[in-house]
A and B are shown apart, each in its own frame.
Chain A
Amino acid sequence: MMIRKAGLSLCAALAFASAAWADEAGGVGKSAPPVTGEQVYHQVCQACHMANAEGGTGAATIPALAHNPRLAVAAYPISMVLHGRGAMPGFAELLKPAQIAGVVGYVRTHFGNHYAAPVTAAEVAAAR
């Protein structure tokens, strides 16, 4: 539905061709993608989970990632980022395995989480 940040014109064409059902800005964006886990967190995740990873509550709740024991096993956050749940979209198309590994590793070692075991791109690729 939405236009991807693809540098390849073919990808842009495909994305555009399927964009007929939503009110969109038009055009094609080309900003530099985030690289490190910290950059991915700031440029993607914190849109919903907030800069302090505390999430928020209105008519429903965006869960906090801070102090979250469900991050203990890396497979869980990897699966959430890849496939999404409820309102949260999956990011398997937007982010590469290395970016997802980076951000999962970042969240598991920040915001009061202390799960130091590294997360690899291979783990993410295997879970796709």
Chain B
Amino acid sequence: METGQPRTTRRQLLTAIGLMGGASALYQAMTTMGHAAETQFAGPPNLAGARPGASVIVLGAGLAGMLAAYELAKAGYSVRILEYQPRAGGRNWSLYGGDTYTELGGATQKVGFAPGNYLNPGPWRIPHHHRTLLHYCKAFGVALEPFIQFNHNAYVHSADAFGGKPQRYREVAADFEGNVAELLAKAIDQKALDTEIGPEDRERLKEALRGWGMLDKDMAYRSNLLSASHRGYDRPPGGGVNGAPTPSALLDFHDVLDPQVWTAMAFFMNHEMQTTMFQPVGGMGMIGQAFARQVKPLITHNAKVTKIVQDKAGVTVTYKDTGPAGAVARARADFCVCTIPLGVLNQIDNNLSPELQAAVSAVPYSNAVKIGLEFKRRFWEEDAHIYGGHSFTSQDIGLISYPNNHLFGDGPAVLLGAFARGDLASYRLAGMTPPERIEAALAQGEVFHPESYRKEFITGASVAWARVPWTLGCCARWSDEVRQQYYQTLVAVDDRVVLAGEHASYVGCWMEGALLSSLDAITRLHKRALEA
């Protein structure tokens, strides 16, 4: 708006708001103006001035632990890491052909995938705004490629709608939006919104509904070339004699209102799920491997922590070799960064403060199940023209997700045959034996590709996080009430020990949360060390 007065610049305005209301007001104002960062990452930590000889023991060689070790060692601390597994990376993990995995209860799977194929049992996609993770991927030389999150041509399946037949996302989303636009336009015409918005905006909204919903001149959503431009054609536009397209029939609106439709649409609106997303070339585990290369000499593997005791001068960690000899050893350091998952830490003998112990034991863990299925050829690409993305289902498997790499390739490919969402579905799949899980994934997934699913199947692998021996679950599952009561205690430095990991963040269940937690924890621990 031009008023003739000198315009206050945005910077001047933000400075004024910052002075008056402090950082939170500034952040709010920046958000409103679209200037706020999408992350709390402000770059690598400044840990200057570490005292010569000061030492830190890090428990856990997942991403949080390895980042803590990397930055603390860089700052001059003497660091070592104890890790339960023979592998570094923690939940950042890929299973390849030739790998062996034994879950709690003893079931062992020998993964039979062809070379180059993999299953990411844990994290599998990286939002573009997870800047900490992207920063260290670049710093540590992890090659990233696009993760195809949103595919209009993938399917939505509900057992309760469309006669149980999967529909293309494009069609159900177009019909949902078109019908909603038509109904809202009718409500305006019937003066149902006259008290809500004025005449000018009513007309503007109607125009928006017409354009957004593909409504015709009568403000109706119908089977015509307008709606077909969103939902697709019976005969698509072509060349020459038969070039003229023909529209497609609309779906029954009752079926379009099936919750499977709008939840799939709303899923992609979630900030964490918005495109662009990435994955490492060669499997998510490449990130853990790259972190491990930075700190490899510091890691002691096969070390099961059995006791954590801090005193006035330092921290003593007792650990047992997981090999047959089971040798017990002790490690001593001035300070400790503990990234052990809470359900495991809860069972380790310790003298942490009673308040922190209560917080550790208050947070339950979620379950999740991932199943990888290898097929002889990419029938989803060759026959169904689906290149990456997800087909959602109301069945226990939740979805199938198509590979994002080597598109148009020949030979075997692995798709994600299940990502069982929380609770009943994931417990049900987790409770099965690995062969039963594969059978369930085939039986449910074949609804999408019935002609090929079983015919082209070669082999599969599954990970049920409830049975992962080194986490006893997938991720910390904070309720609002538990977070209110325990979160600040959980993240506070407890004399010489600080916890870090996705469980000590508000970005739970994401690698970004683990890294942000780690940077915050070591920054505060460093401050504590300088005060010591």
- The interface of chain A, by Cβ under 8 A from chain B, is 1-5, 9, 12, 16, 19-31, 33-34, 42-48, 50-51, 54, 56-62, 84-90, 94
Contacts and interface: CB of A to CB of B under 8 A. Distances in A.
Given A23-B510, A48-B467, A87-B346, A2 B422 contact: yes
B109 to A, nearest CB: 16
For A34, A47, A84, A90, which residue has the most chain B Cβ atoms within 10 angstroms?
A47
Contact of A21 (B104, B344, B346, B508): B508
B424 A5 contact: yes
Contacts of A21: 272, 506-510
Interface residues of B, number: 74
A86 B364 contact: yes
Interface of A is mostly: loop
B470 interface: yes
B445 to A, nearest CB: 13
Contacts of A45: 427, 431
B482 to A, nearest CB: 11
A24 B470 contact: no
Contacts, number: 187
A60 B367 contact: no
Nearest to B399: A25
Nearest to A42: B431
For B104, B266, B390, B419, which residue has the most chain A Cβ atoms within 10 angstroms?
B104
15 contacts: A9-B259, A21-B510, A22-B510, A24-B421, A26-B263, A26-B421, A31-B394, A31-B428, A43-B424, A44-B428, A47-B464, A58-B469, A59-B469, A86-B343, A90-B364
A128 B427 CA distance: 22
A2 B366 contact: yes
A59 B466 contact: no
A58 B509 contact: no
A36 B477 CA distance: 27
Interface string B470-504: 11110101110000000000000000000000000
Contacts of A60: 343-344, 346-348, 472
A42 to B, nearest CB: 6
* 8 A-B pairs with the lowest CB-CB distances in the bound complex, closest first: A2-B422, A87-B343, A58-B469, A26-B267, A56-B104, A25-B398, A89-B364, A47-B430
Given A26-B399, A27-B394, A30-B260, 15 more contacts: A1-B366, A22-B475, A25-B399, A25-B421, A27-B260, A27-B393, A29-B396, A29-B421, A47-B428, A47-B431, A48-B367, A59-B340, A84-B364, A89-B366, A89-B477
B418 to A, nearest CB: 9
Given A30-B159, A33-B424, A44 B431 contact: yes
A89 B482 CA distance: 12
A95 to B, nearest CB: 9
Contacts of A20: 270-272
Contact of A59 (B84, B106, B390, B421): B84
B88 interface: no
A56 B467 contact: yes
A25 B364 contact: no
Contacts of A88: 343, 364
Contact of A5 (B268, B423, B508): B423
For A31, A33, A59, A90, which residue has the most chain B Cβ atoms within 10 angstroms?
A59
Contacts of A87: 341-344, 346, 364-365, 472-473
Contacts of B424: 5, 29, 31, 33-34, 43-44, 94
B123 interface: yes
A47 B432 CA distance: 7
A80 to B, nearest CB: 12
A59 B344 contact: yes
Interface string B446-471: 00000000000000000010111111
Contact of B104 (A5, A34, A62): A62
Contact of A4 (B367, B399, B423): B423
A26 B396 contact: no
B421 A58 contact: no
A43 B422 CA distance: 13
A65 to B, nearest CB: 13
B6 interface: no
A50 B271 CA distance: 37
B226 interface: no
Interface string B79-104: 00000100000000000000000001
Given A28-B263, A28-B394, A88-B364, A1 B422 contact: yes
